[in-house]
Amino acid sequence: MAASVRLPTPCWSCDGPGHEHRAPGRVEPRGRRQRDGAENSLEPVLKPPPCAVLAALSSALWTLAAGGAAGADNGIVGLPPDRLPRGYRYHHDEVREIPWSIHVFEFDRSRNDLGFASTLGNGNVLGLATVTEQVKALQGSPAVQPIAAVNGDFYNGDRAYPGDPRDLQVKDGELVSAPKGHACFWIDAAGQPRGTNVTSRFAVRWPGGTTTPFGLNEARSHDDAVLYSAANGPSTRTADGEELLLEAVPGQPWIPLRPGEEIQARIRGIRSSGDTTLDRQHLVLSLGPALVPRLPKSALGDVLRISTATFPDTRGVRMAIGGGPMLVHDSKPMAWGKSTARHPRTAVGWNRDRFFLVEVDGRQPGLSAGMSLPELADTLRKLGCEEAVNLDGGGSATLWVSGQVMNSPSEGRERPGANALVVVQHKAGPARKAP
């Protein structure tokens, strides 16, 4: 039978004002279970009050059985498929036969004051930071209050560009990273969740009509074009090629960059030594030395057209984050052949009524073995997900709720990552359209 641990928030089963359930100790970090079933001193023993026991018994009436390895049962404790009493909840499920330690945060889509935000490792700039550190950047916001968060996209290992997300990222409407063809999760302009592979159609059109594809805020090779914004940091960090300093065309839309749009940019300066300084008023188009001879000759004052088109169209999107692969589509698990390796995992899923953030611990004998992608997809489907996207896993896998890390990171501590997916409550009222 799965065990359910509730958030230290007002009780959802009692009506008494101010009544709260609180764990006698911190949940972070969770200690590893010993092979004989004993627990070390790092893992608190939760002793909920009687009303919590009644709530757990009530919720256990709706138990979803998910298949595990070697025919083991995966008992996922949930609430009936109607609206959650408080709109959101956290629960921890354990399958000791394998073992698995599964952490789930879910919230009702009917709560229009709840939504998603993506963060960057260094605030408004690319960088690496733990989920806890990234959430702290939101906690002082006058507009939103973070409720829960998980680690986000995979990230590139180039030391010159730490925290460069592998795929698409849109933060507060600003496009900061380009898609690379993997599955992504985003909320579209109509307020609906979307998950599928996204490809870039980014291109710059030169005055004579020639077009050149480009990347965004990433390492630039000798034969590529990359557009840099202030989100990249203080400079482009390049060493050669040609760089065009771009400014606004009066009366035309300008930065911040947004997905699915076309802007006009006038060449203000041309630099041949690389490493151009970045600021919030300009963009820099960096051209590799092997690419420059094949391009039209640039001149000061030339006006370029820069398109950030994608497929599918992401115009109007204010939040997007990369990941992949897709785990569940149309309520059916995806197929990956013989993908049996078990690792810590993180995913986001949804159905018509709820969103789910799911983290599975792994690489910790006696506590949790981790899941293969098929096992994770099956678990998400049986939680009720109609769609689900895999996020970065391994040592990055983290679930943060209400001020603390709820899972046991496989490296014994949080690993810094490029970005995070955060559930936020909008303080000024609804900020997204009702589904």
Q: In this predicted structure, what is the pLDDT of residue 335? A: 87
435 occurs within a structural domain: no
CB 286 within 8 Å of CB 243: yes
Residue-wise pLDDT for 209-225, tens only, equals 999 999 999 999 999 99
Secondary structure (DSSP) of 78-98:
---SS--TTSEEEEEEEETTT
33 occurs within a structural domain: no
Residue 264 confidence (pLDDT) above 90: yes
Mean of all residue pLDDT scores within the chain: 84
Residue 274 confidence (pLDDT) above 60: yes
Beta bridge partners of 149: 400, 422
Q: In this predicted structure, what is the pLDDT of residue 140? A: 84
Residue 165 confidence (pLDDT) above 80: yes
**Rounded-to-integer distance, Cα 324 and Cα 197, Å:** 8
214 occurs within a structural domain: yes
Cis peptide before 49 (omega within 30 of 0): no
209 occurs within a structural domain: yes
Residue-wise pLDDT for 378-434, tens only, equals 999 999 999 999 999 999 999 999 999 999 999 999 999 999 999 999 987 555 554
- Cα–Cα nearest to 360, from 30, 23, 89: 30
Sign of CA dihedral 49, 148, 391, 152: negative
279 occurs within a structural domain: yes
The total number of structural domains that make up the chain: 1
Beta strand spans in 249-342 (E): 262-271, 283-287, 303-307, 310-311, 319-322, 326-329, 332-333
SS3 396: helix
CB 165 within 8 Å of CB 153: yes
Return the exposure string of 8-45: e unless at least 16 CB atoms fall within 10 Å of the residue's CB, then b. ebebbbbeeeeeebebeeebbbbebbeeeeeeeeebbe
Can you tell me the mean pLDDT for 178-188?
A: 98
Can you tell me the mean pLDDT for 132-138?
A: 95
Q: In this predicted structure, what is the pLDDT of residue 307? A: 98
CB 20 within 8 Å of CB 9: yes
268 occurs within a structural domain: yes
% of the chain residues with pLDDT over 70: 79
CA distances to 142, 177, 233, 324, 360 from 163, in Å: 26, 11, 11, 18, 23
74 occurs within a structural domain: no
% of the chain residues with pLDDT over 90: 75
Q: In this predicted structure, what is the pLDDT of residue 83? A: 56
254 occurs within a structural domain: yes
Can you tell me the mean pLDDT for 172-182?
A: 98
Residue-wise pLDDT for 60-116, tens only, equals 323 333 333 333 344 444 444 455 778 999 999 999 999 999 999 999 999 999 999
DSSP assignment letter at 414: P
Secondary structure (DSSP) of 317-339:
--EEEE---EEEETTEE---SS-
In one-letter notation, the amino acid at residue 410 is S
SS3 19: coil
Residue 2 confidence (pLDDT) above 60: no
Can you tell me the mean pLDDT for 128-152?
A: 95
Q: In this predicted structure, what is the pLDDT of residue 428? A: 73
Domain limits for position 221: 203-308
